[in-house]
Structure 1
Amino acid sequence: MAVNIDFSDADEGKKVVDARGETVGRVIEVRHGTAYVDPDPSLGDTITSKLGWADTDGDEYPLQKATVAEITDDEVRLSGL
């Protein structure tokens, strides 16, 4: 079942965690419904590649809605990573 994900300004500052609960970054900004993440410096190439961040230059990376399982009051939880 698909989850309807809508990012808003209220998501800025939330931790982004993988399916195991490990922090992969933090939402630093939401623009036009897209959350941009400052990744944890310890992320490996495999995870950044799965998130579509491997070929992106810069300090912030767009979070693909398809990778998000749910958004809670405190965090954005990813699925399948």
Structure 2
Amino acid sequence: MATLSESDEGKFLVDVDGEQLGIVTKVEGNTAWIDPDPGIAESWLQAFGWGSADEDDYTVDGDAVDTVTDDELRVNADL
């Protein structure tokens, strides 16, 4: 289980094989909102912390995240 924070906004969510699942648009509590299909402009906004979550985003709880690096959140195999 990982502890998520606002500093994780703009990172990519990846699966156990390193495949990108989306980009973190918002973190609240220990839950991340993920945009599954970000455009290039949206990715840049997220990287600078200027993006926001919307109705197309889905959520991932910190319990589903194994590893947090400078660039990504890697989910565990149970997701």
TM-score scaled to structure 1, two decimals? 0.67
- Higher relative contact order (Cα pairs below 8 Å, separated by 6+ residues): 2
Question: What is the DSSP-based 3-state SS (H/G/I as helix, E as strand, rest coil) of the residue aligned with 1:66?
Answer: helix
1:76 aligns with 2:55: no
Q: 2:9 aligns with which of 8, 12, 17?
A: 12
Listed one character per residue, the Cα deviations across residues 30-70 of structure 1 (whole Å, up to 9, x for unaligned) are 123311111148xxxxxxxxxxxxxxxx3111102222111
Q: Aligned partners of 1:8, 1:15: CA distance in 2, in Å?
A: 14
Poorly superposed stretches of 4+, deviation over 6 Å: none
Q: 1:67 aligns with which of 64, 69, 74?
A: 64
Gaps of 5+ in 1: 42-57
Q: Aligned partners of 1:33, 1:24: CA distance in 2, in Å?
A: 18
Q: Matched residue pairs, number?
A: 62
Q: Aligned partners of 2:23, 2:61: CA distance in 1, in Å?
A: 14
| Residue aligning to 2:25 | 28
Q: Percent identity?
A: 44
TM-score scaled to structure 2, two decimals? 0.68
